Amino acid sequence: MTVEQNVLQQSTSQKHQQTFLNQLREITGINDIQVLQQALKDSNGNLELAVTFLTAKNAKVPQQEEATYYQTALPGNDRYISVGSQADTNVIDLTGDDKDDLQRAIALSLEESNRAFRETGITDEEQAISRVLEASIAENKASLKRTHPEVWSDSPNPYDRKRQDSCPVGLKNVGNTCWFSAVIQSLFNLLEFRRLVLNYNPLASAQDLPRNQKEHRNLPFMRELRYLFALLVGSKRKYVDPSSAVEILKDAFKSNDSQQQDVSEFTHKLLDWLEDAFQIKAEEERDGEKPKNPMVELFYGRFLAVGVLEGKKFENTEMFGQYPLQVNGFKDLHECLEAAMIEGEIESLHSENSGKSGQEHWFTELPPVLTFELSRFEFNQALGRPEKIHNKLEFPPILYLDRYMHKNREITRIKRDEIKRLKEYLTVLQQRLERYLSYGSGPKRFPLVDVLQYALEFASSKPVCTSPIDDIDASAPPSGTVTTQTIPSTTEQQGPSSSEIPSASPVQRSVIHKPFTQSRIPPDLPMHPAPRHITEEELSVLEGCLHRWRAEVENDTRDLQESISRIHWTIELMYSDKSMVQVPYRLHAVLVHEGQANAGHYWAYIYDHHQRRWMKYNDISVTKSTWEELERDSFGGYRNASAYCLMYINDKEQFLIQEEFNKETGQMLLGMDTLPPDLKDYVKEDNKRFEKELEEWDAELAQKVQQEKLLASQTPRMPAPSSAPVQAGEPEYLEQPSRTDLSKHLKEDSVRAIAKALTEQEDRSPETVMQTAIKLEYARLLKLAQDDPPPECDYRLHHAVVYFMQNEAPKKIIERTLLEQFGDHNLSFDERCRNIMKVAQVKLEMIKPDEVNMEEYEGWHQEYRNYRETTMYLMVGLEHFQKKSYMEALLYLIYAYQNNKELLSKGLYRGHDEELISHYRRECLLKLNEHAAALFESGDDQEVNNGLIIMNELIVPCLPLLLVDETEEKDIAAVEDMRNRWCSYLGQEMEPNLQEKLTDFLPKLLDCSTEIKGFNDPPKLPSYSTHELCERFARIMLSLSRTPADGR
């Protein structure tokens, strides 16, 4: 056996050992690596026996003399080590009444796992990835066969899927594969990694004749990964489909179960496969030298574990890839690292005779790409399931790692000791400050400075000579009279006897019990307590003391606060000297998870090092972002989103992000020029297929337009009724809902204006009367425009000119609109109005093209038509809402909100109250969500399916509308409420079919994409006359004002 084969066999054994440790950790909930390794060792590698040891009723933590503390640093240990911390050392006890059942279930599970591994050589970790990959492919194929119509769907228009300029290309989620997109995009945007993948080209012999299972799996995967990366570089599509790469991964294993893949597990396995693939290439290209694997060079580093065990020192060097960090109990990344780098009693490291144990980790070699796994899941023993940790954890854009380097260990130890001393002193100061801020010995405590102030105010109050009780008794009325201010005696409370009541008297009244008036304080009693006996000398001395004491307390409090601030600042700057900022790592990517432990959605924030800005990669959506948005979504503590993986790169290693240059011309290579010839041809072929889609779409549209023109030319024009002839130049909104309706409405306004003009004008010529009538109509409409009516009376619906005036339309637009009103053919019913109509028509014909911009004129009238249409959507939606027809109401309110938002973007008075529409749209979704949840809880198959149809076809597609505007906190809170409602089912027992449906549905609900897809056709609107529209709008708005708005 060669040395290489021996090393490979040893490495494989170590990986299997790490897999067994991961299984033990997952089954038992125990995170202490020592305990797990000892149990595995005592059981001679038998997992079933190891679980029995760990879950036995009398199981104890192995004694220190029996445990080998430094077994975390076994020679040649797998690079995916679990680095422990002080925050996670408890052994989870899973014993209970059902211990036997639990152990039997575990035994069966482990027996099945071991048998599967013996038969196939495939580990459980690999099977887990296989399960999710098959689920992803199945979901993608099943989505093509769905029969239920989607409210939102990918537009068939290929132009909607066309890449804009040099915008980054997204990745399609082919079913629970958001984790794939987040990891692949993060790696793709490392230019050095991209170059390695694109230029991967093993010898033909390896491709033609794979020598083992790894080559049979890895080579096709690398081929598809190259194709995928090439499309991300040069595709003309907005996003590409990664199904081929996912299919290769799926084909590598055999499993049928489905679950959502964990990012860290996938990244581990992906780097494993990449390392194996590049190892093949490295071995083929070596020339008598030890082959170098670029994946190892890029992603793997080394650290030195230095420690003592019962006074005996040890040192071990280990390789690591992704570095795991505990989150719980820490506020920032440096605190996590400090805890991970120090274990046990570190004081013992400097003592030869100490019986305590401890160890430190020091980085000896950092990889160019340093990845931190943030452990945000813990096992809840009470509930028997994992839970996500939502605590806030801050991390910097630039991370200096000098303090963790082995070469700086001496100065770091000194600084750590100093920080420890400062923190101890800080604790003392904070305790002292707390005594000032929370003074007293009872359950309620107050700031001492306030206590002294209260005492001063009491002492300075005006003294009273009698007690409050005496004062009240002295104010009692004479015998025989009862007033409402007198506190009743016991006899009065029991009711006076007849002998006590004097004979009838005009001033006598029976006793009436009035608890509120009878307990009223007498007017001469002070409104606050005050000392009854105090001399001027006493008061002077007391005031002097209290003033002095208060000043002293204020000074002491201020000094303590300033000292605490100085210590915080000193600790903050402890590592800021020049010698400790020589190893900078820049944040390259943040992988974010939103949801709970069992389900959720992943996306990535990736830094564009050349444009110097953050980008958000959320499946097919790639958008510009900011550090502020990244902080909000990644730090945690806000909603259910938090960072799960941090990828830093060495800021001094520019080759990681450096563009390629042409060796001959020296020019920078961009886009397709960076691709090898075979990949360039592959991308060109795909772009040709997409261009063909565009051409076919254009041809289809052109054919439709030609057919419509042909149909229009063959359709005979019907003459308009004589009672309402159509005028060609009349705005289209006058034809909604019928031409005669609005003309009739405007006709009445015109006739009134003409009649009033005839009474005011002596000159009865048609032109003079028309001008006067237009002025009167203009004045009437101006008054309506300047009025401030209640919400139910919207004068903009009465006339377009009111809308124009409120939105400062040009005067020429308003004048032409009024001329058209008086030139309407409906005024031809008598000779007088007919003459005025003809004058108005002549005036219209005399208007020159350069006097009124007809395009602008039509634009204003089109906007008014949109406003009336939006009003109808809103009105019908609210009517359905009041009838509790929430499904019908939702679509109307969605269109009302979208149209209204577009109107308001042009001006404040161009639409309706946005908050009103937003509120009822939000309420519709919340009520439908509750209804769907109730159907799901029923357990009936038909009801459950109906509930999921409501969620998939109505609610889930609408969530991007609520998330797109980050300033709408109520909308974001509503989305969180709906998601939490469904996530609450994760810990509940339910039928397997319900669990399967929930697992399939939750990733869609938790998808945070804010990309709004195309609407289906809008709902049809009923036909309303202007009078009916105004009346119904007023009625619905009045009913809303009488109904509580649930928090509006």
Catalytic machinery residues = 178, 593, 601
CA distance linking residue 737 with residue 865, whole number of Å: 11
Query: 251 near 134, Cβ under 8 Å?
Result: no
Residue where the block lists tokens 């425009």: 785
Question: Cα-flanking dihedrals φ and ψ of residue 173, to 5°?
Answer: -80, 110
CA 112 to chain centroid: 39
- Rounded to 10 deg, the angle between the 213-234 and 178-188 helix axes is 70
DSSP symbol at 175 = S
Residue where the block lists tokens 């309303």: 1024
CA distance linking residue 346 with residue 366, whole number of Å: 23
- Residue type at position 479: S
Query: What count of Cα atoms within 13 Å lies in the side-chain half-sphere of residue 379?
Result: 18
**Cα dihedral 274→275→280→285 (10° resolution):** 110
Neighbours of 763 (CB within 10 A): 8
| Sign, CA torsion 201/203/204/207 | negative
Question: Cα-flanking dihedrals φ and ψ of residue 908, to 5°?
Answer: -65, -35
- Of 517, 480, 486, 518, which Cα lies nearest the Cα of 502? 480
Query: 818 near 777, Cβ under 8 Å?
Result: yes
- Of 91, 93, 87, which Cα lies nearest the Cα of 67? 91
Query: 992 near 944, Cβ under 8 Å?
Result: no
Query: 619 near 173, Cβ under 8 Å?
Result: yes
The length of the chain is: 1048
Kindly give the residue spans of alpha helices, DSSP state H, lying in 787-828. 800-806, 811-822
Question: Cα-flanking dihedrals φ and ψ of residue 286, to 5°?
Answer: -70, 150
CA distance linking residue 372 with residue 363, whole number of Å: 14
Query: 193 near 649, Cβ under 8 Å?
Result: no
Helices first, then strands: H and E counts in the chain: 34, 18
CA distance linking residue 849 with residue 589, whole number of Å: 58
Query: 929 near 981, Cβ under 8 Å?
Result: yes
Residue burial 563-580, b: 16+ Cβ < 10 Å; e: rest: bbeebeeeeeebbeeeeb
- What 3-state DSSP class applies to 306? strand
